[in-house]
Structure 1
């Protein structure tokens, strides 16, 4: 894997690891100031989303690092593209119209996907 992949994947992995851990360990009241949409989903779904983010972050880093099933890095990046497209839809169907971060994360995940796919 090239340096560009590691920079992009590292940034994505750090963001999603942080975001996922928050969703798993914090209460709905603690999440609400950062994530206005948490009242629209059941708490178990929010926790599951956090777990998916943590596993995706691991999927971006561990397979290329160990050399075991490196195609999983591309799958994790594709999963983050889909996750952010869903997040944009959730934001737009609710009262929260702030999607700039989601668009940036979608673009970053798409470039990471391209970088991982070219390495296969």
Structure 2
């Protein structure tokens, strides 16, 4: 089976992971500060979707030749997904320790009592 230089431990995979992690965190943070409760409640999902769309767009661009690349890579997509999953875990844990709204503070206080 030929690998075509698309190693799992290549710097490119780390770049995909970090880029999707950063996009997910940034979009979730922006949505979490929205004045619209609908966006605040879904901030992690919105961040995750934005990062996955960016990753898919990058892979589509690779496939059609927009960038100097060997084409789309399932390993790049896996690194994108891992970055999004790590961001979702980070955001979930950070909400537990640093609630951003009064309601989240009340829920955290209730949870610590029980």
Q: What TM-score bracket applies, with the shorter chain setting the length?
A: 0.3 to 0.5
**Bigger radius of gyration:** 2
Q: TM-score, normalised by structure 1?
A: 0.37
